[in-house]
Amino acid sequence: MFAKSLGDDHAELRPLEPWNAQEYLAHIDRSRDHIGRHIPLPERATDLASARAFLQSYADKKATDSGSLHGIWADGTLVGGVLFRSFDAAAGTCEVGCWLEESAVGRGLVTRAIRVLVDWAVDERGIHRVEWQASSANAESIKVAERLGMVREGVLRESYPHRGVRSDMELWSVLAPQWRARREAARQG
């Protein structure tokens, strides 16, 4: 197993796999209301069996090279995660996403973790276009897209039903040349 440091604050990124189901369920239970405000992730893990099934679905995606799931641990505790919701190396496109416990908000963990995923996708796998979708009401997620240098491409009006309400979804993206240029500017700056 690998663990990738996310900085000096004892945070790391690791694969989130079916054997982590109990820890994952405890994490979701700690912040079910916060995480569920904009995404249905808590509804997919209501007990140990459903938590394991959700994690297995991403293990299956990983096995077919069509997605993957990674946990964010802070001080040894699972506090969130990032993922490739979709991954199509042949087409050169992928979609990234995230979630985070309320107790871990404001530390830059998601931004740093997504950078790791995008660096890998662009540099190692030749991905050309990385997408990010977020509810227009999810200001925290939109701020992450902005910090990553993504461009807002548009709004999919009332395209996302969540808890009985149809929400607008914003589509953001970054292209590989833009990603590399921004990363190089940050190194030189």
All structural domains of the chain with their residue ranges: 4-188
- Please check whether residue 114 is in contact with residue 96, taking contact to mean a CB–CB distance below 8 angstroms: yes
pLDDT tops 80 at residue 8 = no
- Show the tokens assigned to 116: 């790791």
CB-facing half-sphere around the CA of 84: CA atoms within 13 A: 30
**pLDDT tens, 115-137?**
999 999 999 999 999 999 999 99
Determine the Cα–Cα distance for residues 162 and 93; give it in Å rounded to an integer: 26
Residue-wise burial string across 25-63, b where 16 or more C-beta atoms lie within 10 A, e elsewhere: bebbeebeeebbebbeebeebeeeeebbebbeebbebbe
Confidence label for 189 from pLDDT (cuts 50, 70 and 90)? confident
What pLDDT sits at residue 2?
A: 81
Segment 15-21 mean pLDDT: 97
**pLDDT tens, 69-117?**
999 999 999 999 999 999 999 999 999 999 999 999 999 999 999 999 9
SS3 string, 137-166, reads CCHHHHHHHHHCCCEEEEEEEEEEEECCEE
Task: State the pTM of this model.
Answer: 0.94
Which run of H or of E encompasses 134? strand 129-135
What pLDDT sits at residue 165?
A: 86
Confidence label for 149 from pLDDT (cuts 50, 70 and 90)? very high
Segment 142-161 mean pLDDT: 93
Within 10 Å of residue 139's Cβ, how many Cβ atoms?
A: 10
Percent of the chain with pLDDT over 70: 99
Specify the CATH number for 4-188; select among 3.40.630.180, 3.40.630.30, 3.90.1150.10, 3.20.20.80.
3.40.630.30
Determine the Cα–Cα distance for residues 143 and 107; give it in Å rounded to an integer: 13
Segment 22-41 mean pLDDT: 94
What pLDDT sits at residue 119?
A: 97
What pLDDT sits at residue 1?
A: 57
Segment 172-188 mean pLDDT: 94
What pLDDT sits at residue 163?
A: 83
